[in-house]
Amino acid sequence: MFCVKLAGVLIAVETRYAFTERLCADYIVDVSPDECAFAVSATPEEIAAENDEGAFSPAYCESLALYRKICTRMPSYDAFLFHAAVISYAGRGFAFAAKSGTGKSTHIAQWMRALGDNVTVVNGDKPILRWQRGEGLGAEAGAVPGKTSDGERAEDAGSQPSGAFVAYGTPYNGKEGWGQNASVPLRAVCFIERCEPGESDCLSRLEDDREIVARLANQVLLPKDPVLALRQLELLDRLVGNVPFYVLRCTPTPAAFDAAFQMALCDNESESLRFKEGSKHED
């Protein structure tokens, strides 16, 4: 058994295979399992259930089963899995979500190509978003789930508690392996769609909350436990109320990066102007 720290939550992990421990190497912490918020393990049946197509090793499937268990517990700690790629630019996080094959990885590569060391990938596939309350933005595991630092329930502190969503890296970062043990405040979420032939790249702000929720439903893992599922939905509602959402219809080209960069700088006109003056791409 070993212990990891994901999104500020200490978790004890019991494995049958060494693969998961190697995968989590950058997140392992030297604490006793008794100090962890909870522990996870996977049965042979749960491991087999992750291998519907029979194409993966039991060790890899165990890692998936364990992460699924971890993520279904995370709403208790104001956190949840978000299937997206998160980059950090100018101290702000930008999440890009898309259907498989749409070009999410290609788009992220455009950010890295254009901005170099000024942009980093926090997680390329399965980050965790966590609501952090107050100025400190950081009740670590060990605090009572769903309560503020003084013990008051968040729901009792007012309908719009102060705080922000923070995106955390995880060991599960996609086939490219893009990611790191880091975190960044989430600035915006962008859904990427492939545009039709002849259609120009277009970035638009999503204003309909129902459409946003419908899109989010495809990017999260809803726990089976009704109490945790309700907490997950409450967190999604808070996300909708605190973070702007966009749709980028594009082809995987440098022009698509230019459109998305408007989102990154929508509240900083001077920086946007400096970028436009110096922006040059190769076709």
DSSP state for residue 198 in the 8-state scheme: T
Nearest to 223 by CA among 74, 33, 96: 74
* pLDDT tens for each residue of 147-202: 433 334 344 444 556 899 999 999 999 888 899 999 999 999 999 998 877 777 78
Asked whether residue 263 carries a pLDDT value surpassing 50, the answer given is yes
Query: Between these two residues, 236 and 107, which has the higher pLDDT value?
Result: 236
Cα atoms in the Cβ-side hemisphere of radius 13 Å centred on 229:
6
With H, G, I as helix, E, B as strand and everything else as coil, classify residue 277: helix
How confident is the model at residue 271, as a pLDDT? 44
Q: What domains does the chain contain, in order, with CATH numbers?
A: 1-77 (no CATH), 81-278 (3.90.228)
How confident is the model at residue 196, as a pLDDT? 78
Cα–Cα distances (Å) from 66 to 62, 73, 198, in that order, read 6, 11, 44
Asked whether residue 100 carries a pLDDT value surpassing 90, the answer given is no
Low-confidence winner among 123-137, 181-195, 219-233, 257-271 (lowest mean pLDDT)? 257-271
Asked whether residue 144 carries a pLDDT value surpassing 80, the answer given is no
The residue-averaged pLDDT of 232-261 equals 86
With H, G, I as helix, E, B as strand and everything else as coil, classify residue 236: helix
Residue 107: both structure tokens together: 């788009």
Asked whether residue 118 carries a pLDDT value surpassing 50, the answer given is yes
One-letter identity of residue 114:
A
How confident is the model at residue 44, as a pLDDT? 96
In this structure, the chain runs to a length of 283
DSSP state for residue 205 in the 8-state scheme: E
Per-residue confidence band for 113, with pLDDT thresholds at 50, 70 and 90: confident
Chain centroid to CA 239: 12
How confident is the model at residue 154, as a pLDDT? 42
With H, G, I as helix, E, B as strand and everything else as coil, classify residue 142: coil
How confident is the model at residue 199, as a pLDDT? 76
Residue 177 dihedral angles phi and psi, to the nearest 5°: 75, 25
Q: Which helix (H) or strand (E) holds 130?
A: strand 128-133
Asked whether residue 42 carries a pLDDT value surpassing 70, the answer given is yes
* pLDDT tens for each residue of 204-219: 999 999 999 999 999 9
Nearest to 89 by CA among 277, 272, 252: 272
The residue-averaged pLDDT of 257-278 equals 56
Percentage of residues of the chain with pLDDT beyond 90: 61
Strand partners, 190: 96, 246
Model-level pTM greater than 0.85? no
How confident is the model at residue 107, as a pLDDT? 84
How confident is the model at residue 227, as a pLDDT? 96
- Between the two ends of the chain, the Cα-to-Cα distance in Å is 50
